[in-house]
Structure 1
């Protein structure tokens, strides 16, 4: 099992509480948040992870080096911002398996990666998104899918009493972006939403623990909860 972790975020909204480190290196319950993602990958049998890095990449590279536990680490470096889609397109050139896990470096979602990978292959999907059902939220957009779990549309963030959100864990085919000419684009806005009618994007519902540390309130929540969770 191989994985890509998007770890190049500036962490603009966190700068009031976290300074001078890329967002995935924000300390949570005594260690960098990225450590929890790598622990999760290690527990589930991942052997190679590519860290897509940019902003203050040396902080990540100096801390983790070329390996973490049983995972060998490679680095896909953005010399200039490529946005999430561009960063993924570049990082996928460094993997060898046909389908690859992708994690957002600021989100923890307790997905069973093997089951998700099996689902991806069984449905012959181009991309599979782990989705989480939430209630009474406005921070996230929603993912809509049919009875066969094929994603039919993405709806932009707004007040929502109940719905499924993109949980920041994907399985992507390695050649997914081969016909995308640009090198700088957003994964959700410029790819998922644009190609939802022409490519097979599937939803993998999961009700496991989920947290996104992208805002100070949830960052503080993670610090409290991870002391008990991990």
Structure 2
């Protein structure tokens, strides 16, 4: 599947909620979703009143989560297959796998203002995991692992601003940030309660089980 390169705000409007794809802009009145919360396109406002089918509801939920974490259709299907083979509830397993992606953890720790920016930073080799260079955004972190920004990037003003903003908003309980030393530690695996976005994972399970 080709990578989406269009306007990010259109994705938020399509899904009917903020997906926080553009970092700090999403927290300001410049956010396109705040100004036009209806779907994009010529008939966007009419779609608000249109009744969705059961299939459409499940499809939109799957698309929403896929876009939140910025993964392709093929990647998302692989995560679902893996989650389905794990013990426990498939929906919870799926969200846990997505949360454990290194690019998501970098974003959650506050080094980046968006997951897209975090993915670029990881791919460009800005981070170490347990002292080893890791440039794979889909790398799944484990409890006890330490994510560290490399020394030569610590004076970057944008990264410092991102960290300050993240500290104000709060860090998830399953992660621990040492902002002074530009390090983050994975304390535990994320639980369902740690994922605060309004996601109905059961609809995704139903979509793939149809």
What TM-score does the superposition give when structure 2 sets the normalisation length? 0.28
TM-score under structure 1 length normalisation: 0.26
Identify the structure with the greater strand proportion.
Answer: 1
Higher RCO (Cα < 8 Å, 6 or more apart): 1
